Chains A and B, each alone.
Chain A
Amino acid sequence: MLIYSRMKSVGVQKQGENRRVVSGVLEDELYAMQCEIAVDWPTLTLESVQARMKRFTTERCPLASEVFARAEGWRIDSELDGKIKKELGRMGCRHMAILMVDCCRALARAELARELATALEADPALDKKGLAEDFFRRYPDLKDYLQLV
């Protein structure tokens, strides 16, 4: 019998040429929370962050929701995960910080997945690894950010 289970689900959508939106949910025995982030592309800037504590353990946990809006204006780069975990996680909620990190990473991976899908339509025998290398040459910040996809 399981004593613990944590589920996270993240989805990314493209809203026009310059806007990406990611939504994520986290559920386990202790917590339920959700996070939505709008990002300007290709500047990789977080334009809007919504964090909602849905189910929690103490009456102070909802105070964390407001902390995460501090990320508005931050960029997706190699510093982002550390800033989210240290500045937002410690000031707000470590679990929400984990979800937000997953959301931001999903945004970067989604861009690559989208390019791959488009390229495969034109050339089913495409060199996928080569496409990834080309993608990271165009987005060096994302290469540093993801390290490996």
Chain B
Amino acid sequence: MILDYQMNSITTVQPLVQGLWRVTARTDDTLFSAEVTLDIMAPALDIRNARIEVRRDTLGLTPDLSKVSEKLVGVRVGPGMTKIVRGLIGGETGSARIAELVLEAMEMLVNALTVPELRKATQAIGKDIAFPDDGPTVFLNNRVIGTEQAASMAANPRLKDSCVVFRDL
């Protein structure tokens, strides 16, 4: 069957100097293309620089947001960011889609910072498995964090009940 609509998006995280990351989130679909670039600095994880570029807007529905991006400077990655970003970028005169792209960029920094911790945990205390749905010849999940370790991680209030991994343990 031939597709008649496609959406592709990519978000990348690149360290610039120690404690400063550049997060770029780009989305492209049949009707729309935009890119958000945020420079975010530790330890507060606050936005130091922000750029919003709408590259293609076939329907002409997105307002000019080039000036609005400056309002993002100072916003922190952390609790409350969703409401703040939607308030600054979304709403009647803004763009809900761009607001979501900004939030995605901010959330992916958290993911990026989690990768080395999960890699260490998987190597140190992971268990070898052969997940039946992977096979029969190529296994994508040869080593994962086991249920016992997940139970101890669930003691962290930020993780407890956050997803199926940390629920009912």
Residue of A nearest to B27 (CB): A8
Size bracket, chain B contacts? 35 or more
- What's the tally of chain A residues with a CB closer than 8 Å to chain B? 57
A128-B112 Cα distance, complex, nearest whole Å: 39
Taking the complex as formed, is A102 at the interface, i.e. its CB lies under 8 A from any CB of chain B?
Answer: yes
Known: A93-B164, A149-B31. A11 touches B141 (CB 8 A): no
Known: A4-B12, A148-B95. A114 touches B60 (CB 8 A): no
A91-B141 Cα distance, complex, nearest whole Å: 22
The prevalent SS among residues of B at the interface is: mixed
Residue pairs across A and B with CB atoms within 8 Å: the count is 169
Among A10, A98, A114, A116: residue with most chain B CB under 10 A: A10
Taking the complex as formed, is A28 at the interface, i.e. its CB lies under 8 A from any CB of chain B?
Answer: yes
Question: Would you call A91 and B3 a contact (CB within 8 A)?
Answer: no
Taking the complex as formed, is B118 at the interface, i.e. its CB lies under 8 A from any CB of chain A?
Answer: yes
Q: Closest Cβ of chain A: how far from B51's Cβ, in Å?
A: 18
Taking the complex as formed, is B62 at the interface, i.e. its CB lies under 8 A from any CB of chain A?
Answer: yes
A90-B14 Cα distance, complex, nearest whole Å: 29
Q: Closest Cβ of chain A: how far from B78's Cβ, in Å?
A: 16
A-B contacts besides A15-B1, A62-B131, 17 pairs, CB < 8 Å: A6-B108, A9-B7, A10-B6, A11-B7, A29-B111, A30-B118, A57-B118, A60-B150, A109-B29, A114-B5, A116-B31, A128-B59, A128-B60, A131-B59, A132-B59, A147-B96, A148-B61
Contacts from B to A (Cβ < 8 Å):
1-15, 21, 29-32, 58-62, 90, 95-97, 104, 108, 111-112, 114-115, 118, 122, 127, 129, 131, 133-134, 140-141, 144-147, 149-150, 161-165, 167
